Chains A and B, each alone.
Chain A
């Protein structure tokens, strides 16, 4: 994980239109962000497009970043995630692409579970502890949606459940997650 302080400083310099800082920011953050895009889009060519769009976007809107509101990597990840999700849900996205189907099948049933998170930072452990309180179905649908960018409909198909059921799992799971994480903080 890139050093958050170094990233924050580079972002501050980018706000002053420092192109060198931007080059460094790309070097440090792009591999992680590219991986995030690949995971959601499941196609490298799309991920490259989205990464490119995202960094142009980051450069153009870097002045709007507020360090008090979010950690720098979280902010940049959100830019990439939103771009990737918009890309996936373009109205005229080519459907039935062979590569796409192939990769879609490789989605694991439960991606990073609470156990894997336990080894991480304090925030990661807090999330892990609270994910454990969710039912298996709630946990699975939330992590799959986040990690692989699956829509309600895709989740329903993947988990072979009615759409309404999946929506309820997610809604209740998120509510429980918030309650737990806020409770642990106070």
Chain B
């Protein structure tokens, strides 16, 4: 149901924030909230108006068992269940390629590699996967990038930021393909700070990336490197390994 009349919307938002909107009316209002950003804004405004009434309340320390209960209910950060049905986790763990890759990038990075696995979805269940575990100067993994080697018109990189670094204002994170054998890095595009993200590979690089030595990420001015080559500090890099 839509609440078209502005006065009705306002009154309902107010009573919802106050807590006096109840029963069916409340549930109906909550359904509308999901699809109506304007209504959500009205509610947020009312919540902010009434919030000072909370400021006076004295904090009370909850018993330790509440936190224990919360922790036990959180999904683990590495989600083996998220591995694909086609190439289940058992398959991955058993796969020689996985362990070769894990060893190649040193034991410390194996966990990050396992993390990268969790971003694989059925759409990319190919046998032939490439993974780059990218580490900072100290060797700590910062992000993983994986992609399918199967020839595709549209190739997408699955990026997982393992450890978050803050992106400074006015800067951008640029992902680079390192062709290897002394050739210059090639830009793959800008990425964000989200924990999981996707990046379309420019079509002309679709083949090059399968044969790449590895990937790197550098901090660049807003909008990306002005020169077409990394100009800022390289935050992390790592070799690409076939699974």
Question: Are A178 and B10 in contact, CB atoms less than 8 angstroms apart?
Answer: yes
Question: Are B18 and A142 in contact, CB atoms less than 8 angstroms apart?
Answer: yes
Interface hits, B39-88 → A, CB 8 Å: 40-41, 44, 47-63, 65-67, 69-70, 73-74, 77
**Chain A positions within 8 Å of B10 at CB level:** 178
A175 to B61, CA, bound (A): 36
Q: Pick from B60, B61, B69, B161 the residue with the most CB of A within 10 Å.
A: B60
Q: Which residue of B lies closest to A120 (CB)?
A: B55
Interface residue total, chain A, C-beta cutoff 8 A: 62
Question: Are A16 and B67 in contact, CB atoms less than 8 angstroms apart?
Answer: no
Question: Are B53 and A178 in contact, CB atoms less than 8 angstroms apart?
Answer: no
Interface residue total, chain B, C-beta cutoff 8 A: 43
Question: Are B44 and A1 in contact, CB atoms less than 8 angstroms apart?
Answer: no
- Judge if A17 is at the interface, Cβ distance under 8 Å: yes
- Judge if B94 is at the interface, Cβ distance under 8 Å: no
Q: Pick from A30, A127, A146, A174 the residue with the most CB of B within 10 Å.
A: A174
- Judge if B226 is at the interface, Cβ distance under 8 Å: no
- Judge if B138 is at the interface, Cβ distance under 8 Å: no
**Chain A positions within 8 Å of B69 at CB level:** 52
A147 to B22, CA, bound (A): 16
Q: How many A-B residue contacts, CB cutoff 8 Å?
A: 138
- Judge if A70 is at the interface, Cβ distance under 8 Å: yes
A47 to B11, CA, bound (A): 28
- B34 CB to closest chain A CB, in angstroms? 11
A58 to B85, CA, bound (A): 29
- Judge if B193 is at the interface, Cβ distance under 8 Å: yes
Choose one: A22, A89, A123; the contact of B52 (CB below 8 Å): A123
- Judge if B15 is at the interface, Cβ distance under 8 Å: yes
Q: Which residue of B lies closest to A142 (CB)?
A: B18
Question: Are B193 and A16 in contact, CB atoms less than 8 angstroms apart?
Answer: yes
- Judge if B195 is at the interface, Cβ distance under 8 Å: yes
- Judge if B14 is at the interface, Cβ distance under 8 Å: yes
Question: Are A77 and B51 in contact, CB atoms less than 8 angstroms apart?
Answer: yes
- Judge if B194 is at the interface, Cβ distance under 8 Å: yes
Question: Are A71 and B19 in contact, CB atoms less than 8 angstroms apart?
Answer: no
Question: Are A151 and B55 in contact, CB atoms less than 8 angstroms apart?
Answer: no
Question: Are B22 and A151 in contact, CB atoms less than 8 angstroms apart?
Answer: yes
**Chain A positions within 8 Å of B20 at CB level:** 145, 150-152, 155, 170
Question: Are B18 and A51 in contact, CB atoms less than 8 angstroms apart?
Answer: no
Q: Pick from A36, A38, A175, A178 the residue with the most CB of B within 10 Å.
A: A178
- Judge if B182 is at the interface, Cβ distance under 8 Å: no
Question: Are B19 and A35 in contact, CB atoms less than 8 angstroms apart?
Answer: no
Question: Are A124 and B52 in contact, CB atoms less than 8 angstroms apart?
Answer: yes
A171 to B18, CA, bound (A): 11
CB-CB under 8 A for A177 and B49, given A16-B195, A19-B74, A146-B18: yes
- B231 CB to closest chain A CB, in angstroms? 26
- A19 CB to closest chain B CB, in angstroms? 6
Question: Are B53 and A127 in contact, CB atoms less than 8 angstroms apart?
Answer: yes
CB-CB under 8 A for A69 and B44, given A26-B70, A34-B59, A147-B53: yes
- Judge if B23 is at the interface, Cβ distance under 8 Å: yes
User: What are the nearest 9 A-B pairs in CB distance?
Assistant: A31-B59, A124-B52, A34-B62, A174-B14, A16-B164, A112-B56, A35-B60, A16-B195, A70-B44
Using a CB–CB distance below 8 Å, which chain B residues touch chain A? 10-11, 14-15, 17-20, 22-23, 40-41, 44, 47-63, 65-67, 69-70, 73-74, 77, 161, 164, 193-195
**A and B contact pairs by CB, cutoff 8 A, 16 listed:** A1-B55, A19-B74, A48-B62, A55-B70, A70-B47, A85-B19, A89-B22, A112-B53, A117-B53, A121-B55, A127-B53, A128-B52, A145-B20, A147-B53, A151-B19, A178-B49
